[in-house]
Chains A and B, each alone.
Chain A
Amino acid sequence: MKIRTALAATTAILLAGVASAETMKIGITQNNVGVDSYQTTYEKAFIAAADANDAVETVVLDAGGDVARQIAQMEDLIQQEVDAIIIWPTNGEAVIPAVRKAHKAGIPVIVTNSNIAEQGFDFVKSFSGPDNITQGARSAEIMCDKFKDMGIENEAKVVHITGQPGYTTAIERAKGFEDRLPEVCPDVTIIDTQPGDWNREKSQQVMEAFLVKYDDIDGVYAGDDNMGVGALNAAKAAGRDGIIFVGATNFAVGYEAMAAGEYWGSIYQSPVDDAEAALQTAIDILSGKDVPFLNYFDTPKITQDNMGDFTKPVF
């Protein structure tokens, strides 16, 4: 009897030993936790998801927005011989040499949330983040569906306020929107496009100019809710009703404007989904699964009709 228990005990220890040897060590270096609630929520969700998974051990680091610290953290993670590194780049180009170092050391690198520049693609296993082209296309669909409900899909005129010129996110969302809209609503015309630089005040000025220039505006598409709300404020100040506002990346201000019935719809991008997708991508790569290079997580449509299904964004 004694021998058997002893045996059982040793087997258990052996098994435990094997199990711990198989746990995946994943390191993450984040951009700047605490600078906004999206990133703070992201970190909390990442840690929660890692804790819930017994097969994973994580080293969670934050670069504090400092490129030098992020590169040092990459070097430390390589030195600690983690199995995979997740990076939220502080600067999409400055981290490329550090990513190459990890690649040379045989450690797979997963980029999360915002991608690094193309020169670094060779050193990266996968990008986990939002699909901005689809976000743009979905915004076009939201707008078209609303025009059809209103019965103005044959003559509606739309103005477009884009994000900061040169930003990949801005370019991709604009492309998605402009390609998709003629497919679903061929008779709707985009009469003007101007950058709002992700800035609410700038966007408000752009919209003020549009309102003076055009007597008939039926819809406004803004590259994110921050700019969308800026445009909405301009329309409210000018006393122009009945304009359909559609944005992307649902912000708390956008959500509130939707609840007030002034803002029609947006794209819901959750930091929790973002964090969980990044961790899952790393786990899949380490388990030898085939993972697409651009591994997007879903960012659903949100409008006044279905906003009850979503919690108010924290940012």
Chain B
Amino acid sequence: MQPGALAKALKSGAIWGFILLELIFFSVAGEFLSLSDKAFMDWENMLLLLKQSAPIGIIAMGMTIVMVNGNIDLSVGATFAIAAIVLLDSMTWPIFAGLGDWVIPVAWLLALMAGALLGALNGLIVWKTGVDAFIVTLGSMLGYRGIVFMFNGENPTSHLNWTLVDFAEAQFLGLHTATWFLLGVTFAIWFLMTRTVHGRNAYAIGDNREAAVNAGIRVGPHMMVNFAIIGFLAALSAVVFYSESGSVNPNDGQLYELWVITAVVLGGTKITGGAGNVIGTFGGVVAIQLLRKGLGHIGADTSTVNLVIGLILIAVLFLDKQLNVKGKEELKI
């Protein structure tokens, strides 16, 4: 066994071990504490779990590649809300009145484009100014949210289209529409990060930006593409979710950035960049939703969810640090 291999295996497996622990705990505790006669591990319940993971999960895949870059995007929640407004509002625009239900794909496309553009704008600013992504996207988080409030004040923006709702509620091969999107996005980003030059460059830049520049990687445009991807995915998440609910409050998507980052970090991505993968992120997303669902199942107070997730996050980072230190020591010998 190579030095550090055990640590590596432990690290990448930690999130799945944690999920297993949650499943066992909630199944056992559910027997005693839940009002429901159904088991927590009920097949239907697990399918719902995947579906409910989709809004955070789709964005988290984009966040993984951005964080592997050594960047971060705090504006995803606001982008999510803007895309939702574009989606729902554009369906009522008079120019599309003649399209009937064909307005749906048009509205989807517009929302996705809006998201990708807002993301690319973040990337462009990071690229051209050299300001840290944390600061840039902190600014755009506030700015984009401002646009949301300018659009319709404090009022919700609504358009309920039952065709769209039926599509979003549909189940194909047992899986909900939202689940298919989550799985599709996970696969696409996995492919991008492990099988393409762009993906390899992402790790190289996150590991050592100067070395990457010296190696001839065009760091600026690369990062801009990744910001466009996360903007697109934030919009996709909104499109999938609001197809099923048809009304957006101006503060929707608030704190999503924090849940997304939590999921990504739980999944083993290093906040300093250079390491991480979408499979781990998928685990992180499922772990959070499982915790929310499970605590609801056993009748625990909803506010305990945040406390528990916070504690686990710190525990995971602590464990990660311990394992890393150990790995390096072994290398020295």
- B-contacting residues, A34-80, CB 8 Å: 34, 57, 59-62, 64-69, 71-73, 75-76, 79-80
CA distance A90 to B254 in the complex (A): 14
CA distance A192 to B244 in the complex (A): 43
B303 at the interface (CB under 8 A from A): yes
Chain A residues lying within 8 Å of B38, measured Cβ to Cβ, are 79-81
Chain B residues lying within 8 Å of A69, measured Cβ to Cβ, are 292
B220 at the interface (CB under 8 A from A): no
A-contact bits for B28-49, CB 8 A (1 contact / 0 none): 0000001111100010110010
Please tell me which stretch of B100-108, B141-149, B204-212, B245-253 contacts chain A, meaning at least 4 of its Cβ atoms lie within 8 angstroms of it.
B245-253
By the criterion CB–CB under 8 Å, are A25 and B35 in contact?
Answer: yes
By the criterion CB–CB under 8 Å, are B247 and A93 in contact?
Answer: yes
Please tell me which stretch of A96-104, A222-230, A250-258, A265-273 contacts chain B, meaning at least 4 of its Cβ atoms lie within 8 angstroms of it.
A96-104
- From B44, B242, B246, B297, A96 is in contact (CB under 8 Å) with B246
CA distance A81 to B36 in the complex (A): 7
CA distance A259 to B297 in the complex (A): 46
**Nearest-CB distance from A121 to chain B (Å)?**
13
By the criterion CB–CB under 8 Å, are B245 and A76 in contact?
Answer: no
By the criterion CB–CB under 8 Å, are A71 and B249 in contact?
Answer: no
A166 at the interface (CB under 8 A from B): yes
By the criterion CB–CB under 8 Å, are B160 and A93 in contact?
Answer: yes
By the criterion CB–CB under 8 Å, are A97 and B169 in contact?
Answer: yes
A311 at the interface (CB under 8 A from B): no
- From B165, B292, B293, A97 is in contact (CB under 8 Å) with B165
By the criterion CB–CB under 8 Å, are B154 and A164 in contact?
Answer: yes
A142 at the interface (CB under 8 A from B): no
- A-contacting residues, B160-174, CB 8 Å: 160, 165, 168-169
**Nearest-CB distance from A66 to chain B (Å)?**
8
Given that A79-B45, A95-B245 are contacting pairs, would A61 and B296 also be in contact in the complex, using a CB cutoff of 8 Å? Answer: yes
By the criterion CB–CB under 8 Å, are A94 and B293 in contact?
Answer: no
Given that A76-B48, A94-B248 are contacting pairs, would A64 and B302 also be in contact in the complex, using a CB cutoff of 8 Å? Answer: yes
* Number of A positions contacting B (CB below 8 A): 37
By the criterion CB–CB under 8 Å, are A68 and B241 in contact?
Answer: yes
B13 at the interface (CB under 8 A from A): no
Chain B residues lying within 8 Å of A119, measured Cβ to Cβ, are 160
CA distance A253 to B160 in the complex (A): 39
CA distance A206 to B168 in the complex (A): 45
By the criterion CB–CB under 8 Å, are B48 and A97 in contact?
Answer: no
Residue in A closest to B165 when the chains form the complex, CB atoms: A97
A304 at the interface (CB under 8 A from B): no
Residue in A closest to B259 when the chains form the complex, CB atoms: A66
- From A34, A68, A91, A94, B55 is in contact (CB under 8 Å) with A68
Chain A residues lying within 8 Å of B248, measured Cβ to Cβ, are 67, 91, 94
B221 at the interface (CB under 8 A from A): no
By the criterion CB–CB under 8 Å, are B36 and A96 in contact?
Answer: no
Chain A residues lying within 8 Å of B139, measured Cβ to Cβ, are none
**Nearest-CB distance from A88 to chain B (Å)?**
13
Chain A residues lying within 8 Å of B154, measured Cβ to Cβ, are 164
By the criterion CB–CB under 8 Å, are B303 and A34 in contact?
Answer: yes
Given that A64-B302, A79-B48, A80-B34 are contacting pairs, would A91 and B156 also be in contact in the complex, using a CB cutoff of 8 Å? Answer: yes
B299 at the interface (CB under 8 A from A): yes
Given that A71-B245, A96-B246, A97-B169 are contacting pairs, would A65 and B48 also be in contact in the complex, using a CB cutoff of 8 Å? Answer: no
Query: Could you jot down 17 A-B contacts, CB within 8 Å?
Result: A57-B35, A60-B299, A73-B296, A75-B51, A76-B293, A80-B36, A81-B38, A93-B156, A93-B158, A94-B247, A94-B249, A96-B160, A96-B245, A97-B244, A97-B246, A101-B169, A117-B158
- Chain B positions near chain A (C-beta within 8 angstroms): 34-38, 42, 44-45, 48, 51-52, 55, 154-156, 158, 160, 165, 168-169, 241-242, 244-249, 251-252, 255, 289, 292-293, 296-297, 299, 302-303
- Besides A67-B245, A75-B51, 18 other A-B contacts (C-beta < 8 A): A25-B36, A59-B296, A65-B251, A66-B255, A67-B247, A67-B252, A68-B52, A68-B241, A71-B244, A75-B48, A79-B45, A80-B36, A82-B36, A93-B245, A94-B248, A97-B165, A97-B244, A117-B158
- Chain A positions near chain B (C-beta within 8 angstroms): 25, 33-34, 57, 59-62, 64-69, 71-73, 75-76, 79-82, 90-98, 101, 117, 119, 164, 166
